Structure 1
Amino acid sequence: ALPPRPKIVETDITESFLKGSGPGGQKINKTSSAVQIKHIPTGIVVKSQETRSRELNRKFARQLLAEKLDQLENGDQSRTAIKTGRARAKKASASKKARRKYKKLAEEQEG
């Protein structure tokens, strides 16, 4: 099982709303829907402007901050490290299985 996500203490963060950047024209230039969160104890800054909704961007920014804090605190035992390790092992197993399959087919065709 994966370790739990670290809890973010509201008093440890500062949150600001910014105008987004990138494509979107006049709408993105005049609405402050991008969210920037700074974790004061560590100094980690996270920005999210994935959606047009301020609330969804707040949610995404907090998830991103939680992941970064988890990586900082737990290193190789963090949720993201465990997930990537599992995905890597699954991909290696699948490619090994495919190699076995084609090797067996090649042997059958020869013999």
Structure 2
Amino acid sequence: YGHISDVIVSSSSRGMAILEFDELVDVDGIEKETGKPDVPIATTCLQKPSSRLRSSEIQRSKPVERPMTSVEFADFEAEVLATMMAGSKRKADKGESKFDNL
């Protein structure tokens, strides 16, 4: 029905649980869920989705991933090297650096 972010289970004899969804994909399905014949369940939506999305109405968008340009990679590499050098200098100021024996 969607990605569950949190589950809270009651220790009462009624066996209640609360599921929190990051993204509810199938509103109709969750509302019609009845469980198994030997373990029936009843569902209640504590907070309805604001636009009342139905499974057929959901439009998924993929996150855009693109490779770094050479300029972006050079900037990233320079930042990493500067951080490493600063750490090396701090260690050298306090004593030996692990790079001394290279």
TM-score (norm 2): 0.31
Higher relative contact order (CA 8 A, sep 6+): 1
Q: Between Structure 1 and Structure 2, which shows a larger proportion of helix residues?
A: 1
Q: Between Structure 1 and Structure 2, which shows a larger proportion of strand residues?
A: 2
Q: Return the index of the structure with the highest Cα Rg.
A: 2
